Structure 1
Amino acid sequence: MSYKAAIFDMDGLLLDTERVCMDIFKTACEVQDLPFIEPLYRSIIGCNAAGVEAGFRKGYGDDYPRVHAEWRKRYNAVVLHEAIPVKDGVVALLEWLQAKGVALAVATSTQRDVAEVKLRLAGLDQYFDNITTGCEVAQGKPHPEIYWLAAERLGIDPAQCLAFEDSNNGIRAAVAAGMIAYQIPDLVEPCEEVLALGHRIEPSLATVLEQLRQA
């Protein structure tokens, strides 16, 4: 395996955010007297703001603006002020890659100001050479544009980049970008279509580190 860079998704991969986010959305639905449509929610995991809105408008229609406002208010009250727990194996993998001289970047669908706060509060911002966010691309995940832009900013060919994702939307983007892709599932297990992509699937970044060390 030949690689010069490693590009990471953030929510559900570096940070244990997805459960927090889903629980807050459920609460927002209850407060606004709306149903929580779980399959719909899981389908938008990994999408940027435009993708999230498009998905939710299919299920909530004209009610979407008020549930979104409630969700965003409650979500920001948590993630902009409290450190989200870091997932298993994250720090050890980042430090090992950094020691090997591998360039590190984040490619997250989250908007930049929120992503920067999350990483800083979690103590992870120090590891990354750049952050590329969903608001900086025309097409969000599962389109590969965000991964291409992250690689371009590092000055490294996508084929020489490791990519790490938890969601099906994210891993589709990483594979389509031509990267060496790893999926570490969080709230969503790989569907049959995603399994057919032939990428690597591991239970945690700790097991990824073991494999890279052996290689």
Structure 2
Amino acid sequence: MPISTVLFDMDGLIFDTEGRYKLCWQAAASEQGFTLDDAFYQGFIGVQDAQCEQMLLSHFGSRFDLSRFRRERDQQLAALSNKPVDYKAGFAALFQQLIAQDYRLALVTSSSLPQVRHHFADSPWLEKFEVVISAEDIANGKPAPDCYLLATERLGVTPAQCMVLEDSNNGMRAGIAAGCHAVMVPDLLKPDDDVRANAMAIVSSLLEVPALLSQANA
């Protein structure tokens, strides 16, 4: 079945935000005397904030003050909010090409809708997505397939008609479990063995996606 639809993750795929988020989360943990190292933080990538916070509580125990952590993290993020977030290489060219070729497009992110609107502010891209799925729309975040299944339902397409673009292992697992063609463009994470085995492709840049679509639809 030809691929007619492309489902985009957001953080780390469209926007170069993952490194910024990591520093804010690590600083907020450090403010309480806890060390949130890179290895543990990697498990947060592609996962909703509420799930990540529960992981912190389980990891650090009862001495960890989640309310205090949230305040500090949000202050750190707010301090960066006026600084523009860079688009990842190749996004604009890919997006314009997909629009010109009449692909249907959806945004499927673990971030909240206010975060989505903030990142896309002063750009024309957000309104070009036919469907936007954000954290508010689903109870079970990535790696559960719910977000991608909801996107296909709202678009009225089957998963087999969809290419998922993700930068994280959890996002890839969600797309694969939904039955989509999942392509990873790694950002902070390398693909895990299970993701590598089940991915349609693993590419170094969004610039490689048009060739994959051409091959799949040949």
So what's the TM-score if we normalise by structure 2?
Answer: 0.90
Displacement after TM superposition at 1:122 (Å): 5.4
Contact 1:82–1:121 (CA<8 Å) still a contact in 2?
no
The residue that corresponds to 1:154 in the other structure is 155
Q: 1:118-137 alignment to 2 at 5 Å?
A: 118-121=119-122, 123-137=124-138
Paired with 2:32 and 2:104, the residues of 1 have a C-alpha distance of 44
Please give the secondary structure, in 2, of the residue aligned with 1:46: coil
Q: Helix, strand or coil for the counterpart of 2:96? A: helix
Q: Which residue of structure 2 lines up, in the alignment, with residue 68 of structure 1?
A: 70
* Mapped contact 1:103–1:129 kept (Cα < 8 A): yes
Quick one: distance in 2 between partners of 1:169 and 1:122? 28
Secondary structure of the residue aligned to 1:189 is: coil
| Compared CA separation, residues 35 and 120, structure 1 to 2 (3 A) | same
In the alignment, the residues of structure 2 paired with residue 64 and residue 43 of structure 1 have an alpha-carbon distance, to the nearest angstrom, of 20
1:3 matches 2:3: yes
Deviation at 1:151, TM superposition (A): 1.5
Change (3 A) 1:106 1:198: closer
Q: Residue type matched to 1:146 in 2?
A: C
User: Normalization by structure 1: what TM-score?
Assistant: 0.91
- Aligned pairs (5 A) from 1:23-102: 23-62=23-62, 63-65=64-66, 66-79=68-81, 81-102=82-103
- Answer whether contact 1:29 1:67 (CA < 8 A) is retained: yes
C-alpha deviation, 1:213, in angstroms:
4.7
Q: Deviations over 1:77-99 (max 9, x none)?
A: 324x3321000111111111111
- Corresponding residue number in structure 1 for 2:20: 20
Q: Deviations over 1:170-213 (max 9, x none)?
A: 00000111111100011111112222224311001011124335
What is the CA–CA distance in structure 1 between the aligned matches of 2:61 and 2:136, rounded to whole Å? 23
Alpha carbons 1:8, 1:164 under 8 Å: kept: yes
- How far apart in 2 are the matches of 1:60 and 1:74? 21
Q: CA deviation at 1:145?
A: 0.3
Q: Distance in 1 between matches of 2:27 and 2:6?
A: 35
Q: Is the 8 A contact 2:183 2:199 kept in 1?
A: no
Cα offset, 1:158, TM superposition = 1.6
Identity across the alignment (%): 34
Tell me if the contact between 2:172 and 2:199 (Cα under 8 Å) persists in the aligned partners.
no
Q: Distance in 2 between matches of 1:18 and 1:109?
A: 12
The more displaced of 108-117 and 11-20 is 108-117
Secondary structure of the residue that 2:195 maps to in structure 1?
helix
1:201 aligns with 2:194: no
* Paired position in structure 2 for 1:182: 183
Q: Is the alpha carbon distance of 1:83 and 1:123 closer, same or farther for their aligned partners in structure 2, counting shifts above 3 Å?
A: farther
**Is the partner of 2:198 in helix, strand or coil?**
coil
Which amino acid in structure 1 is aligned with residue 204 of structure 2? P
**1:75: Cα distance to partner?**
1.2
**1:112-123 correspondence runs (5 A):** 112-121=113-122, 123=124
Give the 3 Å change call, closer, same or farther, for CA 124–56 of structure 1 in structure 2. farther
Q: 1:8 to 1:198 in 2, by over 3 A?
A: closer
1:48 to partner: Cα distance = 1.2
Q: Report the AA paired with residue 75 of structure 1.
A: L
- Quote how far apart the aligned CAs of 1:29 are: 2.7
